[in-house]
A and B are shown apart, each in its own frame.
Chain A
Amino acid sequence: MNLKLKVWRQRGSGDRGRLVEYEAKNISPDVSFLEMLDIVNEELTRKNVEPVAFDHDCREGICGTCSLMVNGIAHGPRRATTACQLHLRHFKDGDTITIEPWHAKAFPVIKDLVVDRSAFDRIVQAGGFISVNTGGVPEANTIPVPKRTADRAMDAAACIGCGACVASCKNASAMLFVAAKVSHLALLPQGQAEKKERVQKMVAQMDKEGFGACTNQYECEAVCPKEISVSFIAKMNREYLKSSI
């Protein structure tokens, strides 16, 4: 199939950035979106044009590295799918596809489609962990966790930190990410000791990084490749307000 691509090209954080048009010709509908970019890049290299920089790692939908805004939707049109798991059979021959990086003040563009998501790391460093004295690993079943609680904690922990929630939010808010990280620890017994401190510190860091606030439109949930529920945002709000009283 043949596609027309409009790709965001930006030399660095100081550059303004613009959309540049490329043709993707004779592409198999079975290739993934990233493989299509690989093919385009090979063609660009042959023509002595700087290839398009984009983030990728596992290409299995589990690492959260790929980060493409495809026609205005984070990770493209498929629900619960990362850009690397998006295949061209979901597009039509002759389609024009606009590819942009995540745009947010807290995620500065490094080059082309690659953004710096270390703001997420700093939020986790602020409190997204449990402090334990190292030693022998305790027997897993000594602390009983009800199945439903364990499942909910796992639902939150499924977050791969890709940043699609920030990218899709009209306010570039990181609340779904922070809520997932706050919730999975707040649900488990090991997370109780630092529960109050954690939510306070993580929210403070989130604000400091320059993310916006939630306006409850749940666009984040709709694009999240791991389908993290916005109910966790309500849980984070609850944890935050309870810990502030």
Chain B
Amino acid sequence: MCFERLKSTVGRKAVMAVSGLILLLFVAGHMIGNLQVFLGQEALNSYADHLQSLPVLLWPVRLFLLLVLLLHMAVSISLAWENKTARPVPYAYQDTVQAGYVSRTMVVSGVVIFTFIVYHLLHFTFGTTHPQYFHLTDSKGRHDVYSMVILSFRDLWVSGSYVAAMAVLCAHLSHGIQSLFQSLGFNNEKSRPFFEKLAIAASIMIFIGNSFIPFAVLMGFLKLPSGVI
């Protein structure tokens, strides 16, 4: 596909859809991986150790996801800017028939999600925000991700901000998932209601799956293994 054609409004919508889909697949995979916390310390720590033991694979994937994220953001900024300038004089009386709040605030929810990603990386990947939990090791000498997660989420502010961020992500995805089918041209009259329901179901599943971890920690369902302070 020629680059010129990707630069059109239709082309850039397709870029938004494909990059969004890649990020969605990552979010889903990341959630499934994290849910192993319910299988116990051994399962989660060995999963984390496996990921870390493949730097040849880990870093290209991380770099790829970062580039996809930056592309998704850059293209959305360019489209949002053009969309804004397409109506220089606003209506004095503003009303809508059916456009929902979520679909009109994708840029805002996107910015919130990006801020959350930065915080999340500083928290669990770089260990900047909670260094006291970052250097724990388990009995096999591996990075003790399990205890780090539980100790972090015992703080109500940390848990609360994660759940709030997941609610924003859920809202963003509920419009994003159904939009990707439209932007890539897979929609017709029959499929649209289905994709709309699918989008809402998938985004609620992602919200529940991710939020259940801090919730379970706060409620005491997930407990620290013996030997960790």
Contacts and interface: CB of A to CB of B under 8 A. Distances in A.
Q: Do A and B truly interact?
A: yes
Interface of A: 6, 8, 17, 19, 69, 71-73, 98, 100, 103-106, 168, 170-173, 175, 200, 203-204, 206-207, 210-219, 222-223, 229-231, 233-242, 244-245
Interface stretch (B79-87, B141-149, B203-211): B79-87
A213 B9 contact: yes
B87 A231 contact: no
A201 to B, nearest CB: 11
B92 A104 contact: no
B159 interface: no
Interface string B1-26: 11001101111111000000000000
A172 B93 CA distance: 16
21 contacts: A73-B97, A105-B85, A168-B96, A170-B83, A170-B104, A171-B84, A171-B86, A172-B86, A206-B9, A212-B87, A214-B9, A216-B175, A217-B100, A234-B181, A234-B186, A235-B185, A237-B184, A238-B185, A240-B10, A240-B185, A245-B1
A237 B179 contact: no
Given A170-B99, A237-B13, A237-B185, A215 B92 contact: no
B106 to A, nearest CB: 7
Given A6-B93, A71-B95, A217-B98, 17 more contacts: A6-B92, A103-B87, A103-B91, A173-B9, A203-B8, A210-B85, A210-B86, A212-B84, A213-B82, A213-B83, A216-B175, A218-B99, A219-B97, A219-B98, A233-B182, A240-B11, A241-B184
Given A200-B5, A217-B99, A240-B10, A72 B93 contact: yes
B103 interface: yes
Contacts of B14: 237, 241
Given A100-B93, A103-B87, A234 B11 contact: no
A239 B8 CA distance: 14
A73 B95 contact: yes
A71 B95 CA distance: 7
A71 B92 CA distance: 9
B74 to A, nearest CB: 14
Interface residues of B, number: 47
B187 interface: yes
Contacts of B79: 213
A215 B103 contact: yes
Nearest to B78: A213
B93 A217 contact: no
Contacts of B89: 17, 103
Nearest to B9: A213
B94 interface: yes
A213 B107 CA distance: 14
B185 A241 contact: yes
B100 to A, nearest CB: 7
Contact of B12 (A100, A213, A239): A213
Contacts of A71: 93, 95
B19 to A, nearest CB: 15
B192 interface: yes
Contacts of A223: 97
B88 interface: yes
Most buried by A among B2, B93, B100: B93
Contact of B86 (A98, A105, A230, A245): A105
Contacts of B181: 234
A120 B181 CA distance: 27
A98 B186 CA distance: 39
Nearest to B176: A216
B20 to A, nearest CB: 12
A174 B24 CA distance: 29
B68 to A, nearest CB: 19
Nearest to B17: A237
